[in-house]
Amino acid sequence: MNIAVLGAGAWGTALAIAFAAAHRVRLWSWDAAQGEEMSRLRANPRYLPGAALPSELEVTSDLSRAVADADLLLVATPLAGLRPSLLSLKDLGAVSAARPIPLLWACKGLEAGSGKLPHQIVAEELGTAYPCGALSGPSFADEVARQQPTAITLASLDAELAAELARQLHTPRLRIYAHDDVVGVEVGGAVKNVLAIATGIADGLNLGLNARAALVTRGLAEIARLGEALGGRRETFMGLAGMGDLILTCTGDLSRNRRVGLGLGQGKTLSQILGELGHVAEGVSTAREVAQLARQRDIDMPITLAVDAVLHHDLPAAEAVEQLLARDPKAERD
C-alpha cells in the first residue's frame, strides 16, 4: 500500500517509520528546510531525535509529490493543521467524491473556536460519506519509532473500512484494533490531555500518588460523561482510546501535557512552559473548548473546569486544588 503521511512532527515521523517496513511511505513536511534536513540526515532531530529514518522512507515538502499514487492519506499534524491540510488536499484534487482515497487522522483535541471534533471537521470539508477514520490510543512517538510494543485504535463509522485498514496497518510491534465509535475514541483522545495537565499539576505540587490515582479515576468519569453526551458509548472509555490513553498520558514522563501541568505546579508561567517545551501541547487549547462544552450542556466536569481556570483565567494551581478538595461529598457513580 502507498501511504502519504502528512505532518513531519514527532507522531507523523514515528508512524511513517513504523509503516515503512511493510508499505511504501512518503512523509510530507510543510517546512521545506526541515524536509531537506530530514532527507539529508535521515533523521528528524527537531521533533524525534535519536530515531533513524529507514532508507525506503521518502521525505518531501512537495504535497503533490507526497500524495501521488497514494492508497491512504494519514494526517498527523496538530489538530490546528487538520482543516488547512484538508483544504490543501481539496485544492490539489487529491480528495473528492470522484476520488475518495481513504483518509485517517492522528490528531487529538477540539478545534479552537468551533469546539468541533476531528470527524466533524472532516465531514464539513469532505462530506459525511467520505471514507475516513481516527487513529488514537496510548502511544508515545518515541517508543513507536523505537519499535517498542504499542496498541492503538482505528475507528471509523464504516466498520468494514476500519477492519480492513487495521488489518493492513497492523504490525507485530504496532497492534491496531478496529472500532466503530468515532465520537468515543475522539473524546477520549481529546480530554485525556486536559486531565494529564491536572495530574501534572498535582505531581508538581507534590500531592502524592493517592491524589494522582484519584484524579485519573475521576477524570475518566468526566471523559465518559462528556463522551456519552456527544454520542459515544461508555464501553469505549474503558478501552485503549479511553482508559489506556488516559493512564499513559497522566503518568508517562514523555507526556507533553503532563509536563505542562508539572511546570504549573512548580510555579512556572504557561508561556515559560510552552517556550521550554518546543512542541504543541494539545490540552492547553482543548481545555478551553471542553470547559465551554461542559457549561453549555450542563455536564459535571470539575477537574476540566479547574484546569481551564488555571490555564486561561489566572487561577493559581494550588488554589484550584483547594477548590476541588472543598467540593461536597457525593456518590461515586455520580
Alpha-carbon distance 12 to 46, whole Å? Answer: 13
Question: What 8-state DSSP symbol labels residue 68?
Answer: T
- Reference 67, options 47, 83, 90; nearest CA is 90
> Dihedral of CA 253/214/184/174: which sign?
positive
* In contact, 71 and 101? CB cutoff 8 Å: yes
Other residues' Cβ atoms within 10 Å of the Cβ of residue 16:
28
Catalytic residue among 108, 116, 192, 330: 192
Confirm whether 108 is a catalytic residue: no
Residues 6+ apart with CB under 8 A from 215: 195, 198, 199, 202, 250, 303
Alpha-carbon distance 210 to 218, whole Å? Answer: 12
Burial 41-74 (b: 16+ CB within 10 A, else e): eebbebbbeebebeeebbbbbebeebbeebebbb
Alpha-carbon distance 13 to 39, whole Å? Answer: 12
* In contact, 153 and 187? CB cutoff 8 Å: no
Place of cell 459525511: 128
Question: Cell for 42?
Answer: 535521515
Question: Cell for 70?
Answer: 497514494
Alpha-carbon distance 148 to 229, whole Å? Answer: 35
Question: Cell for 58?
Answer: 521518502
Residues designated catalytic: 192
